[in-house]
Structure 1
């Protein structure tokens, strides 16, 4: 008699529900264990009755000294625990710069200007191919100085762009929150490539007449992930300055950084980077918890600068003709993947449910002790977060993270649409993405957001936020006039 074939368990058993059952059992193990114990104790107390309980209490023979000492120990322990807890950091609100229509650079305009400025036809063809595959749309914007032929990258024009994008974002934030400039205790500004004297932070202090004792910081040269570095710095300052507000500004000034040469690895930023800025108000005052949008849970920073390849993969230098620009290495995606892996290793235990941590641990042990060729287990971060904000550095960056983290198209929708509508706005792109999610009405109370940024050095930084209240769909902001058109289909190649 021929042997009966084994059933196809992948179809006969609903593995999806088996996995859900496993996750529920492991993640709620303590609850499932404590409920029977508590129920047993309650039933035993009810069975004994009040008279027997009173007699047991009297038999303990506790005097006043014992009661006072026990009370003192309990109060002391609770006080130490309360005082040693980190102060909560709330994101009260934020605002993103909305560029004017006059700054728009459609593909035809960009390539017409490029062909008139660039003398090498091969460089023009190269930029055309990059733009066709970039994932950018027709509404991205460049500062006024870059619309000149040739561009006018002067210090004055750079300051004019900085004042436009930064002051506009701060004004919108003040309008939203009712914040008085005199109530700003901490100011952190990050802009990687434009670092004038006086600094951008001093420019803001002068414009808004901030207090003379304000804690002011200006971060430069730290790349597209500097926005989360600024959040981390502000968080640390808020831990030691009770009752304070922190204003964080994230931007990149494009005007002085237009590359005029023909090196292909330096022409990429011309095609991808666009103007933008974000202003974020943080607070550690508990009374702000009622009006704040989010609470900061974790910030994890990974720096790969000790490796020479990682250090030079995003590098500012001069070409053979003396033109200054930013070179992007061919190894950039591999280095970014390695940095992301290190960052995930740190952030995973902080955010992943126990069911995912156990699966990862058992797989790791199996690879080490049993079979080194065993496929590594990739944790399901969708169980830890409802929303993902991946730095919109380019289509390849988003594609790689979607594949590595096994995310759906909806999870990376905010990143793709931000790249399409605004381009790579450097460190502020994460806030345009968060505003996209809010503008779609998807941010609910209790939702968790994972922001992931990459930057020169090479760095990968993460921030985890928890939504404190269901966010109403914004009536203003960068997406207010176009959100009804998104998401849009972005073809692999747009023929120019």
Structure 2
């Protein structure tokens, strides 16, 4: 049980049968120290191809936080697979630790209070994984349950939140934390091709942590921010587009390389409506009932496709667009950066509904319904 009873207590009579819905009590984020504008990156990477320059400059991204190698004697910025994996580990542990600490700070909790830790990443492979590596950094208790979700891509934050929410419901009063750790620059290949240039122009490094507790009665955090209940999740796996987003070994380059099919925005857009309709129908809601939309900042064309197919306004997508502009695509943690901005805005009212939506390899659309 947690050591601050003013925040959490077990209910005598849960609202939903034998369990209570998990609630989001805090979020925290972290990024590397170094940030670059898109134009600065073009100059640093020595990009002269007009087509590639256009990809960077027309991305709707102004700045990203990245960890880049220094140029070699020949002016080329290259890293071996071993160096990329080392960067994934070092940056991941650093960002993940800081994101969890920032998250816990909002609720006056300590790492020792965490009963369940879920770490999510798609930018490298480690054994032991981040869930074990973060424990000594955070001085967590050795009896903490943990899991690593690796390789699911940009949608993985909601896949994992579903699992963490389930653990919280089955352990009322105990603190569950999910942390998305994406050192995307550890997945970069600098070869000048359009395939890798699209990826290199889009993704940024960042980590986001979220704290859940079920079986609780307080309506606010200790810092007076609202704590929404997680009502439901739905998934849509578009198997006919399984190869449209993939991260695989490129034998020609002797490195891992990420591939994004140009048709991805249209694939996601075509399936957005049916996925959201299913989520809302299960709760007896209509789209007009949703006050807040937090969509994955997957890229300008993806955001536009989702917005058009769902009839969302620029105001609905303001945080999604803002995160893309200021951070780029942060993979699995992007929607939590948007959620952090929504909280800071202070516009949420009790009783309002919100939809979280992420998209990624599979091809997959994940959604979650929350209520404040």
TM-score range, shorter chain: 0.7 to 0.9
Superposed displacement of residue 237, structure 1: 1.4
Query: Structure 1, residues 396-430: CA drift from partner, whole Å, max 9, x if none?
Result: 01111111111221111111111111111111111
Alpha-carbon contact 1:90-1:289 (below 8 Å) kept:
no
What secondary structure is seen at the aligned counterpart in 2 of 1:386? strand
After superposition, where does 1:207-356 map in structure 2 within 5 Å?
207-291=137-221, 293-305=227-239, 307=240, 310-317=241-248, 318=250, 320-351=252-283, 353=285
The number of aligned residues is: 349
Unaligned runs of 5+ in 2: 1-11
- Go from structure 1 to structure 2 and tell me whether the alpha carbon gap of 1:345 and 1:399 turns closer, same or farther (over 3 Å shift): same
What secondary structure is seen at the aligned counterpart in 2 of 1:457? coil
Match of 1:107 among 34, 38, 46: 38
Match of 1:178 among 98, 108, 113: 108
Superposed displacement of residue 217, structure 1: 0.5
Which residue in the other structure is 1:405 paired with?
Answer: 310
Task: Report which structure shows greater RCO (CA 8 Å, sep ≥6).
Answer: 2
Query: Structure 1, residues 358-416: CA drift from partner, whole Å, max 9, x if none?
Result: xxxxxxxxxxxxxxxxxxxxxxx2x1211111111111011111111112211111111
Superposed displacement of residue 453, structure 1: 0.2
What secondary structure is seen at the aligned counterpart in 1 of 2:104? helix
Which aligned segments of 4 or more residues in structure 1 are displaced greater than 6 angstroms?
79-83
More helix by share: 1
Superposed displacement of residue 188, structure 1: 0.6
**TM score, norm. by length of structure 1:** 0.66
Which residue in the other structure is 1:387 paired with?
Answer: 292
- Go from structure 1 to structure 2 and tell me whether the alpha carbon gap of 1:251 and 1:126 turns closer, same or farther (over 3 Å shift): farther
- Go from structure 1 to structure 2 and tell me whether the alpha carbon gap of 1:224 and 1:420 turns closer, same or farther (over 3 Å shift): same
Match of 1:94 among 27, 32, 46: 27
- Go from structure 1 to structure 2 and tell me whether the alpha carbon gap of 1:407 and 1:154 turns closer, same or farther (over 3 Å shift): closer
After superposition, where does 1:409-448 map in structure 2 within 5 Å?
409-448=314-353
Q: Distance in 2 between matches of 1:151 and 1:285?
A: 50
What secondary structure is seen at the aligned counterpart in 1 of 2:21? coil
- Go from structure 1 to structure 2 and tell me whether the alpha carbon gap of 1:249 and 1:179 turns closer, same or farther (over 3 Å shift): same
Which residue in the other structure is 2:5 paired with?
Answer: none
Which residue in the other structure is 1:48 paired with?
Answer: none
**TM score, norm. by length of structure 2:** 0.86
Q: Distance in 2 between matches of 1:295 and 1:224?
A: 23
Superposed displacement of residue 270, structure 1: 0.5
Match of 1:199 among 116, 126, 129: 129
Unaligned runs of 5+ in 1: 1-78, 357-380, 468-496
Which residue in the other structure is 1:84 paired with?
Answer: 17
Alignment pair present for 1:125 and 2:45:
no
> What do you get for the CA RMSD once the two structures are aligned?
2.3
Which residue in the other structure is 1:136 paired with?
Answer: 61
